[in-house]
Amino acid sequence: MIPDSENLVLSGGTVVTPFDAIQDGVVHVRGNTIYDVGPRADIDVPKDATMLDANGGMIVPGFVDLLAHGGGGFGFSDESMDSVAAASAYFLRHGTTTMLAGLHAKPKERLLGDCRLLARYIRENPDSNIAGIHMEGPYLNPELCGAMNLKHLWHPNMASFHELVEAGDGAIKIMTIAPELPGALDIVREAAFCGIVCSIGHSLADYRTVEQAIGNGIAHVTHIFNAMNPMHHRTPGVLTGALLHDNLKIELIADTVHVHPAMMRLLLKVKTPKGVILITDSIRAGGLHKGETHFSEQTAFSDGHKVVLPNGKLAGSVLTLNKAVRNMVHTAETRLTDAVRMATLNPAKVIGSKAGVLASGKPADLTVMDADFKVTHTVKNGRLVFTRRKSGQSGLLRRGTGRLGQAEQCCARRRL
């Protein structure tokens, strides 16, 4: 039996569950849980409900980002709790209600410090959108290090892996690793017993090694096409393995820079929308003006659409998941329901989250977008934590104001 609690009702738009798109749909939230979802005519709305009008936009599950290094001028590797909080807020403003904070290779003590800091932040902020860590490395192939700082990569060994696990205190959910490195498969196997999903990335593994890695627990592929060799008909490798094996879920940076829209359409034909996960791989330059930035102690340059090192290598992205969904619909010819699924339900399943779907009994994490896919509201745990003011300025709500509080001043209130 559900106890009496304050009611929040989202209406006035298309509800994407993401299995269905319900025109003129309604989502009724009680407390921190979704109570009912359906067409307006089928939902009984309490008289005392607070109404949030989508104004003809889209009401979707809160986005789930499995790899982001930062945004809004702040990074998860900044070695600062304030930076973590600021980056978290940046992603809330863009509709991401669940995410993994991306860490990259550093000298051992500093990387262990990053793990400890993020683990502490997660413990002290249980309602945060940061659900864990994606450790992108440090066991990566130096020949395909991408924008990672080559001098900070580690050689795989069990002792250093256990140090990372201990420092992470259960927060490490995904680890990107090159399985062809000596000792890497032992770590992949051990990670499975630690509840960590290992993902192939920054790797030169051949096809046989990919199959061995699957047998030892690999279940994921980091930013498909990037930091891996192109497909070759006589020497298959990571890409061939990723496309052939249905049990390998693949991450896609759908900014149209990292992967051409034609290749995105090909991925969907081969993997189907069930096997593709949209990520941002955003760095601190996300949301900032054009100009100089930094990643992994290296200077990089952003033109507002992409970020590159001085040698021209891509250095993460400035993408947000609302834009990724838009790109999948507008440039990759994907159905809206499928595009939303790839940014919500699919990634949620990887980390065992109950979020990512709008249905009775599920967490009340929702994002509202307008017709241009711009985020207008973000609801986390049943609380309206962000609303875009009419002037177009951001309105991130202070923690502790309650589900209504400032929200009453920002969202439309009306009765159905």
Query: Could you give the residue ranges of the DSSP H alpha helices within 333-403?
Result: 336-343, 345-350
Model confidence at 391, pLDDT cuts 50, 70, 90, reads: low
Given the structure tokens 């978290």, which residue do they identify?
A: 88
Q: Which two tokens stand for residue 191?
A: 């990670």
Mean pLDDT of 99-112: 96
pLDDT for 416: 29
Q: Domain map of the chain by residue range? A: 7-61+357-410, 63-350
Tell which residue, 96, 91, 53, has the closest CA to residue 74. 91
- pLDDT greater than 50 at residue 397: no
User: Which DSSP symbol is given to 317?
Assistant: B
- pLDDT greater than 50 at residue 410: no
Write the pLDDT tens digit of every residue in 333-347: 999 999 999 999 999
Model confidence at 292, pLDDT cuts 50, 70, 90, reads: confident
Write the pLDDT tens digit of every residue in 24-75: 999 999 999 999 999 999 998 888 899 999 999 999 999 999 999 999 999 9
Tell which residue, 278, 280, 282, 300, has the closest CA to residue 290. 300
Helices 108-124 and 81-93, packing angle to 10 deg? 60
Per CATH, the number for 7-61+357-410 is: 2.30.40.10
Tell which residue, 300, 284, 227, has the closest CA to residue 259. 227
- pLDDT greater than 60 at residue 163: yes
End-to-end CA distance of the chain: 25
* Residue 56 CA from chain centroid, whole number: 26
Q: Does residue 225 or residue 145 have the better pLDDT?
A: 225
Model confidence at 291, pLDDT cuts 50, 70, 90, reads: confident
Fold assignment, 63-350: TIM Barrel (3.20.20)
Mind giving me the DSSP string for 145-207? -TTS-GGG-----HHHHHHHHHHHTT-EEEEEE-TTSTTHHHHHHHHHHTT-EEEE-SB--BH
Using CA atoms, how far residue 161 sits from 111, 188, 194, 321, in Å, is 12, 10, 11, 31
Residue 91 host element (H or E): helix 81-93
- pLDDT greater than 80 at residue 83: yes
For the ranges 69-83, 116-130, 300-314, which has the lowest average pLDDT? Answer: 300-314
Mean pLDDT for the chain overall: 91
Euclidean distance between CA atoms 263 and 50, whole angstroms = 44
